[in-house]
């Protein structure tokens, strides 16, 4: 008997739109450091850990700071972000997500979250999706950030599935590269010209239904 295909989702920009809150918090921090930070720079931080994100911002501004201040700024950014997301509810779930997750549950597919966020469980609980996921691997459980495939490989391990039997949904270049490096099928959620390395790409989760993936699954298992 063949095992069911596993579905692994990034959080920010795929399940919920918390990317906007990250942008606000990073922009406030950058302004404090007198570093210009626009949506263009923010695009490069999607799917990237908090440490790597701050390192990038400092490099853009040619700034060098002490380890103590570095940690302080990371903590300040995270607290600002937590304050922003504290009022989240189910209205923050992106279009098509609930319907697709329900279809996967109805068809008994293993579902996992693979996110760089260290606040993933807090967010999922706030939007009432925590119980949907059979496994949650976030920034608290990995040592290497995307584009390293560690987060997705650990999700596969928790679901007891082979990477070649998993489909990953990502909105970031680093996330798509991580899925590809791990040998999984990658689905980009966003602009095709940005996520051109993905095996498939859609603007959002309303653009297809479960039948689309049933077709992909049947092709890959023949």
Q: Percent helix, strand and coil across the chain, each rounded to 5?
A: 45, 10, 40
Structural contact between residues 90 and 127, judged by C-beta atoms closer than 8 angstroms:
yes
- Rounded to whole angstroms, how far apart are CA atoms 121 and 189? 21
Residues 6+ apart with CB under 8 A from 62: none
Q: What is the DSSP letter of 202?
A: E
- Catalytic residue from among 10, 89, 138, 211: 10
- Rounded to whole angstroms, how far apart are CA atoms 54 and 59? 9
Residue 70 structure tokens: 């570095």
Residue 50 structure tokens: 């908090």
Burial class (CB in 10 A: 0-12, 13-18, 19+), 182: buried
Catalytic residue list contains 10 = yes
Catalytic residue list contains 34 = no
- Catalytic residue from among 12, 17, 80, 134: 12
Beta bridge partners of 135: 112
What sign has the CA pseudo-torsion 167, 179, 38, 192?
Answer: negative
- Rounded to whole angstroms, how far apart are CA atoms 127 and 45? 23
Active site positions, annotated = 10, 12
């Amino acid at each position: 008997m063949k095992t069911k295909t596993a579905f692994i989702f990034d959080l920010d920009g795929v399940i919920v739109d918390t990317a906007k809150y990250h942008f606000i918090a990073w922009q406030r921090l950058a302004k404090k450091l007198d570093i210009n930070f626009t949506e263009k720079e923010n695009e490069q931080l999607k799917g990237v850990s908090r440490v790597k994100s701050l390192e990038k911002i400092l490099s853009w501004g040619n700034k060098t700071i002490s380890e103590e201040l570095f940690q302080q700024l990371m903590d300040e950014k995270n607290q600002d972000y937590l304050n922003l997301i504290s009022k989240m509810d189910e209205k923050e779930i992106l279009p098509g997500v609930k319907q697709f997750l329900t279809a996967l549950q109805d068809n008994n597919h293993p579902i996992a979250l693979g996110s760089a966020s260290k606040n993933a469980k807090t967010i999922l609980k706030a939007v009432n999706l925590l119980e949907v996921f059979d496994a949650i691997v976030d920034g608290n459980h990995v040592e290497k950030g995307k584009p390293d495939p560690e987060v997705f490989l650990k999700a596969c391990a928790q679901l007891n599935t082979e990477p070649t039997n998993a489909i990953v949904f990502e909105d970031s270049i680093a996330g798509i590269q991580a899925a590809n490096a791990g040998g999984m099928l990658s689905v980009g959620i966003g602009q095709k010209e940005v996520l051109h390395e993905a095996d498939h790409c859609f603007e959002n989760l309303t653009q297809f239904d479960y039948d689309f993936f049933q077709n992909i699954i049947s092709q890959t298992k023949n």
